[in-house]
Chains A and B, each alone.
Chain A
Amino acid sequence: MTLTLERNPVSQTNRREYAIEAIQLSKTYGPVRAVDGVDLLVERGQVYALLGPNGAGKTTTINMLTTLTTPSGGSARIAGFDVVQEAAEVRRQIGVTFQETVMDKSLSGRVLLDIHGRLYKMPKAEIKARTAELVRLVELEDAIDRPVKTYSGGMKRRLELARGLMTSPQVLFLDEPTLGLDPHNREGIWTYIAYLKREKGLTLLLTTHYMDEAEKLADRVGIINEGKIVVEGTPAELIGALGADVVNVTGTGDTNRFLEALRERQWVSFADVPQEAKPGEATTETTEAQEQTVQVGLKIEAGRSLKPLVDLAEECGFAVADMAIKRPGLSEVFFKYTGRRLRD
């Protein structure tokens, strides 16, 4: 497959430049500060995920970056162009897919792509060639001439993605690209996004409230809450900042001795019997043959600590029946910085 997504190959001198630069970007609606001083830097060819619950300011941020809404304060540049002063130029550089599917359902996919190409003044032959390429990419060959109302949710999303790519944008904005899709279709969209980044060096900004999506796709993640970016970094950095892994050790024996021994170790950050796992105060004191779960927070990677853990348990007379490693995800990161749980 030879997709020519960049009509504007990034020259060597531009390599270090930012495709998206927002400085103290703000939007107020009356007394409501929907976006409150967002700083955002996305390097060329990177995938940046803006993560946050509904109403956090993700869509408003995208609307400002895509020139749909005028910022109340701050500034932003896309591919070097100011979103207010050079809005027309910005619009030529970007592709956008919106949160809700916005398409005329009575028209066929091919007509919609054609109209889109015409809006950007693409020559007819180019529209035709690109339609053929993109339809192949998003696997809509069979459906492209049918009215969009006959499409499933996933097919509509794929068509929107194709439409966003129609004009060979430098920067692609995807607002909740997999919202409401079943797992199969989500994986499909992820595959296309990964392909675009890997093969075409496209810069992508996506918003999501799915943790796994951000973790899987993004080079950098910004967590946005109440109009502010509360923390930013690579998924690994963000998760790493939480500390390393947690291991649940289930077994029978002298739980208290095991806990005391664990707490003396350098590589253990905490060790406890989780509240809900305690069958009752009485049984915690005894050393009956009843299974208990000990949760151990580690300062080192779980893989390297399993052996010492087992050895220690045996020394203390705690017979290990099962061990489970729990890696913290972006969910935990989000919870740590916003104090709120995301529905995942």
Chain B
Amino acid sequence: MATVLRKSQQLTVGSPKKTSNWSGMATGVYTLWLKHMRKFRSSSMELGGTLATPILWMLLFGVCMEGMVKELNLGMSYQAYITPGIMLLTSLTAAVLGGATLMIERINGVIKEYLVAPIPRLAVLLGTMASGLTKAIIQAVVVLLMSFVLGVTLHADFSGVLIGFLLVGVYSLGFVGIAAAVACQSKSMESYHTLIMLMNLPVLFLSNAIYPLHEMPAQLRVLAYINPTTYAADAIRGLFFGGQLEIGLWIDIPVLLAFMVAGLWYGFRSFQKTVANPVG
């Protein structure tokens, strides 16, 4: 045993620096994040594709509904009213696409390059989550800027905007976790895309994203209360546009944090189960 140890030491002389687990983790997470962001930048499809839906929502739906909902007394323009929901929908889609990255890399084998590299395996998950989160925030910002073009104005100070975007991040991370979990288990791209389609519309409709909770039928309102989008839209509406909160930040924030923890935990557990036996 002693000779074996000595041999190991000789062999590492001059080899890449012996790194602690944490430093390997940081390297791994950053490198994967960097790679995914480079891919994101080089693929106009991903950016354009995710932004097309919110643009249509805001231009067509928002503009048309504007005139019809005057009597609802929302305390802000309808365009402003739906902006938080559209932002959330966009970041949700970005988060789910981030999960798709993990799945594509798992199915086509790219993940093997990471798994034989001297980085902890968890770094693969965290790197993917980090890039998914970054994409989600970037797109949420783009949607907000677009709403300005459509005449929406902010009623918030800097800290309000900051907390608002933090909440977009918290909300996105919850879905990044769920997306990663599904990505670890899906057998094919098709099943994954079906899931995105199934998730998108209910998340929007079964929430207060495009109409106030008190206007909803009671049964649907119950469903809206299980939807994290409801809490995120409520909080952001208040933080960005100074609107009257239907629920209140003291409930919104803990619920969103709990959702994030649950989503991340689900993603983590699923990753740990499948990563021990990668495809192939």
Q: Give me the interface of A with B, judged by CB distance under 8 Å.
A: 7-8, 11, 13-14, 17, 59, 63, 66-70, 79-81, 86, 88-89, 91-94, 96, 98, 100, 102-104, 106-107, 111, 115-116, 118-122, 147, 163, 167, 170
Which residue of the partner chain A has the closest CB to B119?
Answer: A119
A79 CA to B7 CA in the complex, in Å?
9
A259 CA to B4 CA in the complex, in Å?
61
B219 in contact (CB, < 8 A): no
Which residues of chain B are near A13, meaning CB under 8 Å? 10
B38 in contact (CB, < 8 A): yes
Which residues of chain B are near A14, meaning CB under 8 Å? 7, 10-11
| Contact (Cβ within 8 A) B118 A88 | yes
B248 CB, nearest partner CB in chain A, Å: 45
| Contact (Cβ within 8 A) A106 B39 | yes
Which residues of chain B are near A93, meaning CB under 8 Å? 11, 15
A93 CA to B15 CA in the complex, in Å?
8
Which residue of the partner chain A has the closest CB to B276?
Answer: A70
B18 CB, nearest partner CB in chain A, Å: 8
A122 CA to B19 CA in the complex, in Å?
12
Which residues of chain B are near A115, meaning CB under 8 Å? 31, 34-35
B28 CB, nearest partner CB in chain A, Å: 7
User: Which of A91, A122, A170 gathers the greatest number of chain B CB atoms within 10 Å?
Assistant: A91
B217 in contact (CB, < 8 A): no
B113 in contact (CB, < 8 A): yes
| Contact (Cβ within 8 A) A96 B116 | yes
Which residue of the partner chain A has the closest CB to B36?
Answer: A104
Which residues of chain B are near A63, meaning CB under 8 Å? 280
Do A102 and B112 contact each other (CB < 8 Å), given the known contacts A7-B14, A107-B39? yes
Which residues from 250 to 274 on chain B have a C-beta closer than 8 Å to any C-beta of chain A?
none
Which residues of chain A are near B108, meaning CB under 8 Å? 100, 102
| Contact (Cβ within 8 A) A81 B8 | yes
| Contact (Cβ within 8 A) A102 B110 | yes
Which residues of chain B are near A122, meaning CB under 8 Å? 16
Do A118 and B110 contact each other (CB < 8 Å), given the known contacts A79-B11, A86-B8? no
A7 CB, nearest partner CB in chain B, Å: 5
Query: Which of A79, A103, A120 is B16 in contact with, Cβ under 8 Å?
Result: A120
Per CB-CB distance, the 3 closest pairs between chain A and chain B, nearest first, are: A102-B109, A119-B117, A91-B118
Which residues from 10 to 49 on chain B have a C-beta closer than 8 Å to any C-beta of chain A?
10-17, 19, 23-24, 27-28, 30-31, 34-35, 38-39, 42-43
A341 CA to B278 CA in the complex, in Å?
31
Contacts A8-B15, A80-B11, A119-B28 known; list 11 others, CB within 8 Å.
Answer: A89-B12, A92-B118, A94-B116, A96-B116, A100-B108, A107-B38, A115-B34, A118-B30, A118-B31, A118-B34, A119-B117
Which residues of chain A are near B13, meaning CB under 8 Å? 8
A103 CA to B112 CA in the complex, in Å?
10
| Contact (Cβ within 8 A) B8 A103 | no
B165 in contact (CB, < 8 A): no
Query: Which of A17, A68, A92, A104 is B110 in contact with, Cβ under 8 Å?
Result: A104
Which residues of chain A are near B38, meaning CB under 8 Å? 107, 111
What are some 22 contacts across the A-B interface (CB < 8 A)?
A: A7-B14, A8-B13, A11-B10, A13-B10, A66-B116, A68-B112, A80-B11, A88-B118, A92-B15, A92-B16, A98-B109, A102-B109, A102-B110, A107-B38, A118-B27, A118-B30, A119-B27, A119-B118, A120-B117, A120-B118, A163-B113, A170-B11
| Contact (Cβ within 8 A) B117 A98 | no
| Contact (Cβ within 8 A) B24 A88 | yes
A88 CB, nearest partner CB in chain B, Å: 5
| Contact (Cβ within 8 A) A91 B116 | yes
| Contact (Cβ within 8 A) A8 B14 | yes
Which residues of chain B are near A68, meaning CB under 8 Å? 112, 115-116, 278
| Contact (Cβ within 8 A) A89 B8 | yes
B277 in contact (CB, < 8 A): yes
B205 in contact (CB, < 8 A): no
Which residues of chain B are near A80, meaning CB under 8 Å? 4, 7-8, 11
Query: Which of A7, A86, A107, A119 is B15 in contact with, Cβ under 8 Å?
Result: A7
B225 in contact (CB, < 8 A): no
| Contact (Cβ within 8 A) A102 B31 | no
B92 CB, nearest partner CB in chain A, Å: 24
Which residue of the partner chain A has the closest CB to B28?
Answer: A119
Which residues of chain A are near B14, meaning CB under 8 Å? 7-8
A313 CB, nearest partner CB in chain B, Å: 56
A147 CA to B27 CA in the complex, in Å?
25
A81 CA to B12 CA in the complex, in Å?
11
| Contact (Cβ within 8 A) A121 B16 | yes
Which residue of the partner chain B has the closest CB to A105?
Answer: B108
| Contact (Cβ within 8 A) A119 B31 | yes
A144 CB, nearest partner CB in chain B, Å: 16
B127 CB, nearest partner CB in chain A, Å: 10
Do A17 and B117 contact each other (CB < 8 Å), given the known contacts A102-B110, A118-B34, A119-B31? no
A163 CA to B278 CA in the complex, in Å?
21
A98 CA to B116 CA in the complex, in Å?
11
Which residues of chain B are near A66, meaning CB under 8 Å? 116
B107 CB, nearest partner CB in chain A, Å: 11
B211 in contact (CB, < 8 A): no
Which residues of chain A are near B276, meaning CB under 8 Å? 70
Which residues of chain A are near B17, meaning CB under 8 Å? 121
Which residues of chain A are near B39, meaning CB under 8 Å? 104, 106-107
B57 CB, nearest partner CB in chain A, Å: 28
| Contact (Cβ within 8 A) A69 B116 | no
Which residues of chain B are near A59, meaning CB under 8 Å? 280
